[in-house]
Structure 1
Amino acid sequence: MSCPDCFRGGVHAHSEPTGTIETVHGMRTYIAGGSDSARSKSTILYLPDAFSLKLVNNKILADQYASATGCRVLIPDVVPNGGLSPDLMPSMEIAMAPLEKRTVGGVLHKIWITLTLLPHVVPFILFGRPHKVYSQILAYARAIKAELPLGGKLGVAGFCWGAWPSTKLCTEPATEGGSERLIDAQFNGHPSFISDTPEMVVDAIKKFKVPYACAVAEIDMQFNAEVAAKTEALVKQETAGASPGEYIYDFRIYKGCQHGFCVRAMKEDEANFQGGRDAAKHAIDWFNKYLN
């Protein structure tokens, strides 16, 4: 499920997006890179957090991936209702921050802020789950895979909300009933919705032997260091007896980092901001290794 930290963070202002918005297979899509097929023929499907294309951070990160890998990076506007507004994040910070002074005015202000958030956050929690639009994501991913040039591969990156579908896509064939895998490499950061289903992660790794990486926030209400350790232990158990390198996975713990660090950490928050930079390199190295 979603947690309050799914709606916290800040808007990045250190860069401007360089990609374009176009309609791809019937879906509004942010497109970064991909103009130099001599460098890479592959595509990365970027499945965003709850803020989707409304949060410039997602576009900036997609640009970084495209620049560093040469891959085309696509962010489909697939989050229900276009995602939440980033304007909610400052209010969420106030609502979640501890009261420094327990004055009547301070308590009432926190209650008021919380009440203003509920009409936005509660419907998203109830009706904005990725499960509800997964069939659209699958159809989109298969269409992208089908149009790749010879030698091109399809990677997927999922953050928070997007990590559940990025994991699920690893279990899918490229065509309905086919035997070729859809996804050639997967990366996710501070995932939501998969902490209670470690068997889903096992299936994502085992079924088509997709290289699977996860950037784990040490401090997370959902997929934290403890959950990651249990999940990795189950993966090891279920793949015992396999030859070296047959199943490829990397659960990397980012010490001191919190949920959202890959996308929404602010520069003044040194631990999370540096964690986000390190996770970006983690993803770039992963995709360069398995897509190019």
Structure 2
Amino acid sequence: MSCPDCFSGSTRESVALRGTVSTIHGLKAYISEPTSGRPIRGIIVIIPDAFGFDFVNNHVLADHYAEKGDYRVYLPDFMLGYSAPVWLLDTMKELHTGKNILTKPLHILWAIYGVVPWILRNRIGRSYPIVERFFGELRKAEGATLPIGVAGFCWGGKHALLLAQGAKFDGLTLIDAAFTGHPSMVKLPDDVVNLKQPVSFAIGDRDTQITLEKAREVEALLAQFPESQASELRIYGDTGHGFCVRADITAGESESAKRAGEAEDQCIDWFNRHLQPRLSRTA
């Protein structure tokens, strides 16, 4: 999770937000619901990238999921206030494209200052129990009758895959389906062959975490699953790590913006097919 692309990209400050911030099952969360007036089909919980719960791009994504799919969307603060600082986006941009070599050592120091504490505070062994407990409380409450999907990105993608490996809390299966965009820290083949719930992957062909070679390996592993446990992987051409969340949409119909939109549709289509109403509190 320490790759530069995990902390690179663009913000979406100009987009108007519709959600609210409240506390849900012990965690502060951004909550978005559809404005259509139609019944809520289920719950989508976003486990975000390194920039966390208060990153505007993740709020925009939550709003889009709610509106496109008629879902209640939760974006909890699983990092407990220790998300990566947004100024890292500018720092990484300077490191990638800055022409003044004299200032690069300073940007390197700033990058270390921003990234290392984040890694220490949000290592998987520390964060996953927080994630698991939230989903357990959610399942016992409204998730008893509403299906639950998880959408994980970068850092959050690893958690989504762990949840999809049949994770239970107090005997209850925590999720019904998962989507992950450019997950980080994926361990192959374990994180794929151990999947129990259906998962949809969105990977760029220039991803630095899951390379094209690794993506083909994931495809081959998924192809061995029985039809009743079907999962999928879609590869997006000329696209790198982080595109689902941090693609540059300021250029209007840019290729990166189009692919980010396509990944949103991929996620919603997947959940529309795999999140079915729950009739009881059974696992």
Same fold (TM over 0.5): yes
Aligned pairs for 1:1-292 within 5 A: 1-33=1-33, 39-79=39-79, 81-97=81-97, 99=99, 106-148=100-142, 151-176=145-170, 178=171, 181-194=173-186, 196-204=187-195, 207=196, 210-237=197-224, 239=225, 242=226, 245-267=227-249, 268=251, 270-292=254-276
Instruction: Tell whether the 8 Å contact from 1:41 to 1:149 is kept in structure 2 after alignment.
Output: no
The CA distance in 2 between the partners of 1:18 and 1:158, in whole Å, is 21
Residue deviations 1:232-286 (CA, integer Å, cap 9, x gap): 213334x3xx3xx212111100001111100111123923221101101111111
Instruction: Tell whether the 8 Å contact from 2:36 to 2:67 is kept in structure 1 after alignment.
Output: no
SS of equivalent to 2:165: coil
- Residues 228, 257 of structure 1: CA spacing in aligned structure 2 closer, same or farther, 3 A cutoff? same
The CA distance in 1 between the partners of 2:50 and 2:29, in whole Å, is 16
Q: CA deviation at 1:117?
A: 2.0
Residue deviations 1:138-174 (CA, integer Å, cap 9, x gap): 0100111111266410100000110011110112444
- Residues 131, 272 of structure 1: CA spacing in aligned structure 2 closer, same or farther, 3 A cutoff? farther
SS of equivalent to 2:17: coil
The CA distance in 2 between the partners of 1:42 and 1:260, in whole Å, is 26
Structure 2 segments unaligned to the other structure (5+ residues) = 277-283
| Identity fraction in percent | 34
- Residues 163, 273 of structure 1: CA spacing in aligned structure 2 closer, same or farther, 3 A cutoff? same
SS of equivalent to 1:158: strand
Instruction: Tell whether the 8 Å contact from 2:82 to 2:121 is kept in structure 1 after alignment.
Output: no
The CA distance in 1 between the partners of 2:85 and 2:165, in whole Å, is 31
Which residue identity is paired with 2:192?
A: V
Which residue identity is paired with 1:189?
A: G
Q: CA deviation at 1:14?
A: 4.0
Match of 2:281 in 1: none
Which residue identity is paired with 2:177?
A: A
Q: CA RMSD in A?
A: 2.1
Match of 1:103 in 2: none
Higher helix proportion (structure 1 or 2): 1
Instruction: Tell whether the 8 Å contact from 1:129 to 1:161 is kept in structure 2 after alignment.
Output: no
Match of 2:280 in 1: none
Aligned pair count reads: 274
Which residue identity is paired with 2:190?
A: E
